[in-house]
Amino acid sequence: MGVLPGASATLASFFAYDLEKRLGDGSREAGVAAPESANNAASTGSFVPLLSLGVPGSGTSAVLLRVMLAYGLQPGPGLVSDQPEIFWGVIVSMYLGNAFLLALNLPLIPYIARLVNLPTQVLIPLVITFSLLGVLLTTFSTFDLGLMLLLALGATVLRSQGFPLAPLLLGFILRGLFEENLRRALLLSDGQWQYLLERPLTLGLLCVNLAICLIPLWNRREA
C-alpha cells in the first residue's frame, strides 16, 4: 500500500487490521501488531514513488518533496544517476532511524504500555482536547472546528447503529485524490461526463465500484 501514490500508511493500517480480523485468531496482540507493522512498512514504501517518479506517496513524503524542491533537488529517475549520494543517503537514513527507534523504544515500552491502563474518564477528554487543538492550530478556523464536531456527532450516531467507521475514514482520506483525478479527466473531455463511460477501463472500474457498494447492501437485505 505504501508504494501506491496517495494511499499512505493510514490505508495500510486499516487494511491490515481488517485482514487480521478476518483471518487471524482474534487475539489483541495480533490486532495491534498487524496495523502497526503495515504502518511502518507503508511509511518506508512511500519513498519508492517519491524517489523514482517524484510522486509523493503520503503526507510525510509530500513534505519531503517540498523540502527537496526548495533545495533545488528534483526527485525522479534522474536523481539516482545524477545525485546518487542523495538517493542512497535517504535509504541509509532509514536504517539508522530504525536502529535509533529500536534503541529508544525497547526501554520505554513498559512506560508507554501504562497509557492503556488510563481510565476512560481521563483518556476520552484528553483525546477530545488534543483533537480540537490539532484542528484549531492547523487551520485557525472556527468553521473547521464546528465541522469536526458535526462529523464526530455523525460518526457517533453511525457507530451506535452498528455501521463500521473504517470505510467512512477511508472515504475522507481518498476524497482529495478522487476529486483531483476526476477534475483532470473532465478537463480532458471538455466537461463531458460521457467520456467516463466510453473507455472500457474506466467503465470497468465504475462497474467494480458499483458492485462493491451494492453487495454489502444485498447481503444485509438477505440477512
Element of type H or E holding 9:
helix 8-23
Cell reading at 67: 523540502
Q: How far apart are CA 123 and CA 135, in angstroms?
A: 19
In this predicted structure, the answer to whether residue 173 has a pLDDT above a threshold of 70 is no
What's the whole-model pTM score? Answer: 0.51
Supply the pLDDT for residue 190: 75
Handedness of CA 91, 1, 195, 190 (dihedral sign): negative
11-34 pLDDT per residue, tens: 788 888 888 887 877 777 788 888
Residue 182 and residue 206 in contact, taking contact as beta carbons nearer than 8 Å: no
- DSSP label of 76: S
> Cell numbers 528534483 label which residue?
74
Amino acid symbol at 175:
R
In this predicted structure, the answer to whether residue 162 has a pLDDT above a threshold of 70 is yes
96-135 pLDDT per residue, tens: 988 988 888 888 888 887 877 778 888 888 888 888 888 8
In this predicted structure, the answer to whether residue 67 has a pLDDT above a threshold of 70 is yes
- The CB density around residue 196, as the number of other CB atoms within 10 Å, is 15
Residue 23 and residue 15 in contact, taking contact as beta carbons nearer than 8 Å: no
Q: How far apart are CA 126 and CA 83, in angstroms?
A: 46
Return the ∠ at Cα 118 (arms to 112 and 122), rounded to 5°: 125
Supply the pLDDT for residue 57: 67
Supply the pLDDT for residue 222: 62
Residue 59 pLDDT level (bands cut at 50, 70, 90): low
Burial class (CB in 10 A: 0-12, 13-18, 19+), 176: exposed
Q: How far apart are CA 4 and CA 123, in angstroms?
A: 34
